[in-house]
């Protein structure tokens, strides 16, 4: 059974269909990439799937359960987490605190216990902190745990965003351009992280413009063009699809993709 099934999703803004009849399945342990030119509807699709926009057309099934129309925090509690194209880290909090915030969905906390500083609450705080530190180590930011996020370089912030998204222990992880603006070394690092997350059994859905990364990392690729699905399949197939080359990649990119 697919961990995430999106069926026939659609949404219009001011009469223009930003996403129109898009379906996909995300499988445990696999990376599905969603590619397409600027404005193709990739982020809008993520906003639909993660509940930021209410899907009025189509259906979303998470882990066998119909979750269409549920708000983001409910979806997060059910195992769907995402990163944002525009970073959503809290710049005045430390790296560790940012991850701890992402973790709170996972926890059954009692406000009373917190207020009274009961031992159970202290234990939980220690556990949350330890889990955050584990994630920071995972994204190679353990040296920056106490650094305010605002003081971290861009590449580190992109990894912090992934750690924050992982903190709720998602079964499905949506990553919106996790390597955008990163240099080759940073991109390589993010590539490795994504593969490791998938290898742990998470279904990863990736939006990414870096074709080299996409071709290398994806089990399957869905191509969108002006809100509509254009092609879907394994990387080798998609990169040779004439419609994709024509409509999206263009001759120069097609060569790049073929040699990736
Ligand atoms: N809230 C909104 N209101 C009106 N139009 C929107 C809104 N969100 C997205 N759009 C429009 O929907 C289309 C798809 O945008 P979207 O951001 O999903 O594209 P994208 O594929 O993520 O592009 P990029 O690669 O640049 O991130 C665009 O034409 C955009 O202008
Ligand atoms: Mg986008």
Q: What is the pLDDT of residue 152?
A: 96
Ligand number nearest CA of 18 is: 1
Please choose from 13, 37, 176 the residue to mutate so as to test ligand 1's pocket, defined by most ligand atoms within 8 A of CB. Answer: 13
Q: Would you place residue 18 in the very low, low, confident or very high pLDDT band (cuts 50, 70, 90)?
A: very high
Under DSSP, the state recorded for 41 is S
Rounded to whole angstroms, the Cα distance separating 76 from 81 reads 5
Beta bridge partners of 12: 17
Angle (nearest 5°) at CA 77 between 75 and 79 = 70
Any atom of ligand 1 within 6 Å of the Cβ of 18: yes
Q: Which atom of ligand 1 is nearest to the CA of 41?
A: 18
Q: Would you place residue 110 in the very low, low, confident or very high pLDDT band (cuts 50, 70, 90)?
A: low
Q: What is the pLDDT of residue 145?
A: 97
**What are the pLDDT digits (tens) for 199-257?**
999 999 999 988 889 999 999 999 999 999 999 999 999 989 988 888 765 655 545 55
Q: What is the model's pTM? A: 0.90
Average pLDDT of the chain? 90
Euclidean distance between the first and the last CA atom of the chain, given in angstroms as a whole number = 31
Cα of 40 vs centre of ligand 1, distance in Å, is: 7
Give me the residue spans of the domains in the chain. Answer: 2-79+170-258, 94-168
Q: What is the pLDDT of residue 247?
A: 72
Contacts of 79 (CB under 8 A, 6+ apart): 3, 62, 63, 168, 169, 170, 171, 172
Q: Which atom of ligand 1 is nearest to the CA of 46?
A: 18
Kindly state the tokens that stand for 175.
Answer: 């990553």
Q: What is the pLDDT of residue 115?
A: 72
Q: What is the pLDDT of residue 84?
A: 86
CATH architecture of the domain with range 2-79+170-258 = 3-Layer(aba) Sandwich (3.40)
Cα of 144 vs centre of ligand 1, distance in Å, is: 34
Q: What is the pLDDT of residue 119?
A: 77
Rounded to whole angstroms, the Cα distance separating 240 from 18 reads 26
Q: Would you place residue 109 in the very low, low, confident or very high pLDDT band (cuts 50, 70, 90)?
A: low
Question: Rg of the Cα trace of the chain?
Answer: 19
| Burial group, residue 66, by CB count within 10 angstroms (0-12, 13-18, 19+) | exposed
Rounded to whole angstroms, the Cα distance separating 131 from 109 reads 15
Cα of 204 vs centre of ligand 2, distance in Å, is: 17
Q: Which residue do the tokens 């992880």 mark?
A: 173
Rounded to whole angstroms, the Cα distance separating 195 from 174 reads 13
Cα of 23 vs centre of ligand 2, distance in Å, is: 18
**What are the pLDDT digits (tens) for 150-200?**
999 999 999 999 999 999 999 999 999 999 999 999 999 999 999 999 999
């Amino acid at each position: 059974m697919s961990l995430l099934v999106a069926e026939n999703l659609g949404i219009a803004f001011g009469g223009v269909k930003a996403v129109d009849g898009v379906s996909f399945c995300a499988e445990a342990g696999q990376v599905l990439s969603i590619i397409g030119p600027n404005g193709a509807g990739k982020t809008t699709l993520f906003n639909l799937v993660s509940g930021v926009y209410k899907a009025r057309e189509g259906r979303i099934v998470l882990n066998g359960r119909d979750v269409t129309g549920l708000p983001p925090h409910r979806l997060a509690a059910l195992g769907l987490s995402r990163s944002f194209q525009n970073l959503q880290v809290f710049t005045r909090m430390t790296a560790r605190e940012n991850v701890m915030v992402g973790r709170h969905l996972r926890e059954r906390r009692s406000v009373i216990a917190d207020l009274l500083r009961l031992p159970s609450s202290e234990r939980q705080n220690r556990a949350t902190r330890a889990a955050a530190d584990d994630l920071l180590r995972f994204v190679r930011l353990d040296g920056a745990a106490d650094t305010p996020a605002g003081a971290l370089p861009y590449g580190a912030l992109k990894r912090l965003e992934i750690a924050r998204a992982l903190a709720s222990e998602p079964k499905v992880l949506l990553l919106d351009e996790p390597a955008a603006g990163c240099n080759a070394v940073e991109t390589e690092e993010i590539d490795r992280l994504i593969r490791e997350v998938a290898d742990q059994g998470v279904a990863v859905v990736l939006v990414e413009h870096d074709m080299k990364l996409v071709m290398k990392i994806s089990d399957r690729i869905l191509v969108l063009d002006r809100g509509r699905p254009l092609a879907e399949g394994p990387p080798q197939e998609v990169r040779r699809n004439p419609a994709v080359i024509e409509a999206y990649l263009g001759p120069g990119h097609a060569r790049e993709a073929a040699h990736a």
